[in-house]
Amino acid sequence: MTRDDSQITVGREWRENPTRFKLKETKYFLDQVCHAYTEYIRKTTDENRDVLLFNLSAFLAAGRSITANYMQSQYDDEWYREQHFEFNQELRFLTEIRNDFVHKKPQTIIANRGLESSVTARVVYADGDPRKKTAPPLPETKPSEPIVSQPVTYEVVIRPDDKLKKKLGLEDEYNILDFCNRQYKMYEKLVKECEKRFASSHKV
């Protein structure tokens, strides 16, 4: 057995451009949220709900660290102060729910549900209707099947508590996917702006 003294550089991209790497991590968890959301809509079970919440928590933590830590550390402090993130309503909301997920308990997550109804009807062509001769035979003697109703989940929302709504002037509820996608687009735009402005001078 021989010893191999060669070294592999691990996390080079993270070291050289940590903000961009953190954005990639945020995108990864956004994709996981989207998948978990779809699965929970398709099959509303406790297990699928938990997977959605696990990934939502990871997305909130990764995304918030971009503006709260990484950008301020890697880029110019003056630029960071100019952004006035403290006045961004949804970013402040994200900070609050991220802190709740990590340190307290999540804000209320609600699965909005309704009833989906279906009925199978039998079509009978009247005498003299030309389709009666040309259309495929129909089970005209069988009655229509009864209406069938079943509960379905059509969206998942987060509802800020009354204290937080009053404090930040928030809406009653936010669709989780819409909210997460909006936040990611904001992060992506900010990171691109920083990379363009500080292309030759950012700290590594």
Q: Is the distance from CB of 197 to CB of 80 less than 8 angstroms? A: no
Of these ranges, 12-16, 152-156, 191-195, the one predicted with the greatest mean pLDDT is 191-195
Mean pLDDT (whole number) for 103-127: 67
Mean pLDDT (whole number) for 151-170: 81
Backbone angle region of 84, left / alpha / beta, with phi > 0 → left and psi within -120 to 50 → alpha: left
Query: Residue 34: helix, strand or coil by DSSP?
Result: helix
Q: What sign has the CA pseudo-torsion 139, 144, 146, 149?
A: positive
Q: Is the distance from CB of 120 to CB of 144 less than 8 angstroms? A: yes
Fold of 12-113+155-197: Four Helix Bundle (Hemerythrin (Met), subunit A) (1.20.120)
Q: Per-residue pLDDT tens for 124-153? A: 667 777 766 676 655 554 555 666 666 677
Q: Is the pTM of this model over 0.85?
A: no
Mean pLDDT (whole number) for 14-40: 91
